[in-house]
Amino acid sequence: MLMDVTETRRLQEQLTHHRRLSAKTEMAAALAHQIRTPLAAALLALGPVARARDLAPAQARGAQRALDAMRQLERLVENMLSFARGAVVDAAPIEVGALTRRLTDEARALVDGSEFELDFDCQADPRLIVHGNVDALISIMLNLVANSRQITQSKGWLRIATRHFGDYAMFRFMDNGPGVAVHDRERIFEPFFTTRGGGTGLGLSVAQAIARAHGGDLAIDPEYTSGACFELTLPARAAVEPTTERVGVAALIED
Q: What is the pLDDT of residues 53-101, one digit of tens each?
A: 888 888 888 888 888 778 777 776 775 666 566 556 678 899 999 999 9
Q: pTM of the predicted model, to two decimals?
A: 0.66
> How confident is the model at residue 37, as a pLDDT?
79
What architecture (CATH level 2) is domain 92-237? 2-Layer Sandwich (3.30)
**CA distances from residue 243 to 129, 161, 240, 246 in whole angstroms, order as listed:** 18, 32, 9, 8
Position with higher pLDDT, 231 vs 24? 231
pLDDT at 45 over 90: no
Residue 223 in 3-state DSSP?
A: coil
92-237: same fold as 6-85? no
Radius of gyration (C-alpha) of the chain in whole angstroms = 23
Residue 245 binned pLDDT confidence (cut-offs 50, 70, 90): very low
The residue extents of the domains of the chain are 6-85, 92-237
Pair 255, 144: CB distance under 8 Å: no
* Residues 128, 118: Cα–Cα separation, whole Å: 23
213 sits in which H/E element: helix 203-213
> How confident is the model at residue 15, as a pLDDT?
59
Strand ranges in the chain using DSSP code E only, listed in sequence order: 92-95, 117-122, 129-132, 157-165, 168-175, 217-220, 229-237
Residue 232 binned pLDDT confidence (cut-offs 50, 70, 90): very high
Q: What is the pLDDT of residues 144-187, one digit of tens each?
A: 999 899 888 888 999 999 999 889 999 999 999 988 888 888 88
pLDDT at 241 over 70: no
SS3 string, 78-120, reads: HHHHHHHHCCCCCCEEEEHHHHHHHHHHHHHHHHCCCCCEEEE
Domain covering 6-85 in this structure, CATH number: 1.10.287
Residue 234 binned pLDDT confidence (cut-offs 50, 70, 90): very high
> How many CB atoms lie under 10 A from the CB of residue 50?
18
Q: Tell me what the pLDDT averaged over the chain comes to.
A: 79
Q: Return the closest-CA partner of residue 141 out of 177, 105, 186, 165.
A: 105
> How confident is the model at residue 56, as a pLDDT?
87
> How confident is the model at residue 221, as a pLDDT?
94
Cα–chain center distance at 71: 17
Q: Which of 86-95, 117-126, 133-142, 183-192 has the lowest mean pLDDT?
A: 86-95
Position with higher pLDDT, 220 vs 15? 220
Angle at 44 between CA 42 and CA 45, to 5 degrees: 65
Q: Measured on CA atoms in the order 40, 132, 138, 144, is the torsion positive or negative?
A: positive
What's the mean pLDDT in 224-242?
Answer: 86
* Residues 14, 125: Cα–Cα separation, whole Å: 41
User: Residue 130 carries which DSSP code?
Assistant: E
Instruction: Return the bridge partners of 119, or none.
Output: 159
